[in-house]
Amino acid sequence: MPPYQPVNAPTGYDPTRTRHLLLHKKELDYLMGKSKEGGLTIIPLSLYTKGRRIKVSIGLARHKKKRDKRENIKKREAKREIDRTLKSNN
């Protein structure tokens, strides 16, 4: 699958060329250290193009705790039950 849709690809776009991550070495070391030691994950927050550059805003995120997952499952199940009862009443 191409990185861009074929219709939207800019002229002269080469999907296989090497890319550079424009960060200072100190910033890169910090991100790599946090992702390895602290169990944090590097995630893209926003992505946009500006001229010929693609800009990415990145952040560090901690994984979801088990109790948070259980709360989401409870909410989802409750919503399903409400939807079922409303559907059966109609």
Rg (CA), the chain: 21
State both tokens at 69.
Answer: 């997952």
Range 40-54 burial, b when 16+ CB lie within 10 A, else e:
beeeeeeeeeeeeee
What pTM value is reported for the model?
0.48
In angstroms, rounded to a whole number, what is the distance separating the alpha carbons of residues 11 and 16? 14
If DSSP codes are grouped into helix, strand and coil, which group holds residue 3?
coil
pLDDT (0 to 100) of residue 3: 60
The residues with which 80 forms a beta bridge, in sequence order, are none
Please report, in tens digits, the pLDDT of each residue of the chain (90 residues total).
456 566 777 777 777 888 777 889 998 898 888 888 877 888 889 988 888 788 888 888 887 676 777 888 889 999 999 999 988 887
Residue 61: how many other CB atoms lie within 10 Å = 10
Domain segments of the chain as ranges: 25-89
10, 26 Cβ separation under 8 angstroms: no
pLDDT (0 to 100) of residue 32: 86
The residues with which 44 forms a beta bridge, in sequence order, are 58
pLDDT (0 to 100) of residue 5: 67
pLDDT (0 to 100) of residue 78: 93
pLDDT (0 to 100) of residue 80: 93
